[in-house]
Amino acid sequence: MKKFKGIGLLLIANILIFITLSISFTVLSEMILPAFGIDLRGSFAQQDLLWAFVIGFGGAFISLAFSKQMARAFIDCTQITEPRTPAERLVYETVQKISGKLNLSMPEVWIYESPDPNAFATGPTKNNSMVAVSTGLLNNLNEGEVRAVLAHEMGHVYNGDMFTTTVLAGLMNTFVYFISRFIYRQVAERNEALGFGVYIALQIVLSVLAMIPISWWSRRREFAADRFAA
């Protein structure tokens, strides 16, 4: 039930984000930029670039801003503010100790139900983040291993990996949207039906290609978090 509720909230959020970004694009292209002598209304290529930028970066940063809320919507989790069990105390005090050493605001600490050993950190900034661990991780790892995992996740927080990954994702999204729309217009001038097919195909292919630099960067950040934890 929690998962279906999360999917529903995600769909609603995506619709609202798209509407917000569409309005932002219209205001930028029709009002703000012309007021500064920048008129893109006669150039489809420039309009496409602005649209790609607004959708690509806007969507990425809105997702980052609400990343904690979205994560909580998808998992059956409990926030730990006053630890009551040894496991809760271990997680909470470890995060508290590390954040204190790093002069960071204490992240929200959550434990979620899952048999799989896992943990993650998310949040818009270093000082507005959350760290979550699964019950499977607490049940299968010893105290030292749990501390190491938490140190790894705090490494992501301290290094600002959520922000830098969002910037890269925004750049890749902009690339995918712009190239797809630009080529679509060229093809659609001759055959609109074919142009739509080309647009969909380009979205798929370019999205796969865009995952290459994102995956490369993500792997580098994982190694950096490992070094931090060590």
Per-residue pLDDT of the chain (230 residues; tens, 9 = 90+): 555 555 666 677 677 777 888 888 888 878 888 887 777 766 777 888 888 899 899 989 999 999 999 898 888 899 999 999 999 999 999 999 999 999 999 999 999 999 999 999 999 999 999 999 999 999 999 999 999 999 999 999 999 999 999 999 999 999 999 999 889 888 888 888 888 899 999 999 999 999 999 999 999 999 999 999 87
Confidence at residue 203, expressed as pLDDT on a 0 to 100 scale: 92
Residue 155: which domain range? 75-159
Q: What is the CATH number of the domain that holds 137?
A: 3.30.2010.10
Decide if 210 is inside a domain: no
Decide if 113 is inside a domain: yes
| Residues designated catalytic | 153
Decide if 60 is inside a domain: no
Decide if 182 is inside a domain: no
Structural domain tally of the chain?
A: 1
* Residue linked to tokens 């509720």: 5
Decide if 197 is inside a domain: no
Q: Which DSSP string do the residues of 42-71 spell out, in sequence order?
A: T-HHHHHHHHHHHHHHHHHHHHHHTHHHHH
Decide if 174 is inside a domain: no
Decide if 84 is inside a domain: yes
Decide if 124 is inside a domain: yes
Confidence at residue 10, expressed as pLDDT on a 0 to 100 scale: 61
